[in-house]
Amino acid sequence: MDSIVVTGGGPLSGEIPIAGAKNACLALMPATLLSEDPLTLTNAPRLSDIKTMTTLLQSLGAEATGLQDGQVLAMSSHDLTSSRADYDIVRKMRASNLVLGPLIARFGHAEVSLPGGCAIGARPMDLHTFGLEKLGAEIDLRDGYLFAKAPNGLKGAEIPLKFASVGATENIVMAATLAKGTTVLTNAAREPEIVDLVKCLRAMGAQIEGEGTSRIEIQGVDRLHGATHQVVADRIELGTYMLAPAIAGGEVECLGGKLDLVAAFVEKLDEAGVAVEETERGLKVSRKNGRLKAVDVTTEPFPGFPTDLQAQFMAMLCTADGTSELNETIFENRFMHAPELTRMGAEIEVHGGRARVTGVDKLRGAPVMATDLRASVSLILAGLAAEGETVVSRVYHLDRGYEHVVRKLRGVGAQIERVKA
């Protein structure tokens, strides 16, 4: 099993290009199921999760090619052969459940295994099924599969979500594009990835208003056509690499970054003593003066502080002056990186969904183990600030969400290498 070795100590300098958003692309890819015409995505990230979704679409009979020689992903669902998403594929990735809404909308039936993914919380499917049932689908859970059918087709409905779930919002919006009549989704998630999905669906002929707000209105159409769409920049990768110079020192420009993707995150960086400057090409990041300051953080749905940046931000706070409190409100099991950071000399106390981090002068390199995607990169960031060598094992998690992380960090001066098992 591969590991990543980081030797800390030096400041960083240079540019890091930000890839297309993994979470946006994983929602955009199932949209191909809504039309028999081709859908082409540009700026698609080269990640294992994208390969998994490609495999899933191909198992349904869709054509999906590309990414080997670039960041263009070409798909077509003109001749699907199956509406069953098997456990062997779906178990690898939570986002696999996003084929459910499109399959029901276009074909009137689907069999989708309950999904897998990082072990950071329960993340149930009840909001997905609630919304799809409101549209007229009949859904039963048997033997670990959701068996769905819409014998009378899908019909527009009022759908109030009890929680602003990103995945449920995406599944419901995609299904509603082909439903008869008008669907109004309230308490919808507002993430940029949803705005990007709606932009793509609109290019395919969907009639949707309100994306980026808590109320989305969809007027169903008879069919959607093909389109070409550029995937939005990955705000989580952006935030991750913005933390690299904050932790290690120096100055890094994140190419393609935009403030509106990470506004709440940037506010907390500013409180901690990190300067962020918007440039023509992206965002330039450096420390202001002296040691960073402790900051309290509460994760929230967008536009609040992202749960997907909590682990990385904790790594920065490990050497900040004072005591910080992190309140995790999205996933109930998202502090698994804390024990690994303490192996590096961090002082962290975890009580349920809260963590107290008391900054130390220095972290020390140590062998640590990645427990999930964001935890894995948080340990790499911590290694940039640590004395000596940090060896991060189980880095297969990293391949799910970060494209060329070793190459990008090495390009700005980090001493980092991937070691084959």
The 10s digit of each residue's pLDDT in 134-176 is 999 999 988 889 999 999 999 999 999 998 999 999 999 999 9
The pTM of the full predicted model, rounded to 2 decimals, is 0.91
Q: Beta strand pairing status for 367-369 and 354-358?
A: unpaired
Q: Residues at the annotated binding site for phosphoenolpyruvate? A: 22-23
85 within 8 A of 111, measured Cβ to Cβ: yes
Q: What is the mean pLDDT of each run of 10 residues along the chain (421 residues)?
A: 91 97 96 97 91 94 74 92 92 88 96 65 74 96 92 96 94 98 97 98 98 98 97 96 97 97 98 98 95 96 94 97 95 83 97 95 95 89 96 88 93 96 74
Is the CATH number of domain 22-230 2.30.30.90?
A: no
Task: Please tell me the distance from the alpha carbon of residue 214 to that of residue 294, in angstroms, as a whole number.
Answer: 32
Q: Is 118 a catalytic residue?
A: yes
Q: Do 3-19+233-419 and 22-230 show the same overall fold? A: yes
Give Dmax (Cα) for the chain.
Answer: 65
| Burial bucket for residue 283 (CB in 10 Å: 0-12, 13-18, 19+) | buried
Segments in 257-385 forming alpha helices (H): 263-272, 310-317, 338-342, 373-385
What pLDDT was estimated at residue 119? 40
Is the CATH number of domain 3-19+233-419 3.65.10.10?
A: yes
Lookup result for tokens 């994140």? 254
What pLDDT was estimated at residue 399? 82
Q: Which long-range contacts (CB under 8 A, 24 or more apart) does 374-377 make?
A: 374/118, 374/236, 374/308, 374/309, 374/310, 374/311, 374/312, 374/337, 374/401, 375/311, 375/336, 375/337, 375/340, 377/240, 377/311, 377/312, 377/401, 377/402, 377/405
In this structure, the number of other CB atoms found within 10 A of the CB of residue 65 comes to 12
Spot the catalytic one: 25, 118, 200, 254: 118
Q: Residues at the annotated binding site? A: 22-23, 94, 123-127, 308, 330
Q: Residues at the annotated binding site for UDP-N-acetyl-alpha-D-glucosamine? A: 94, 123-127, 308, 330
Where are the domains positioned within the chain?
3-19+233-419, 22-230
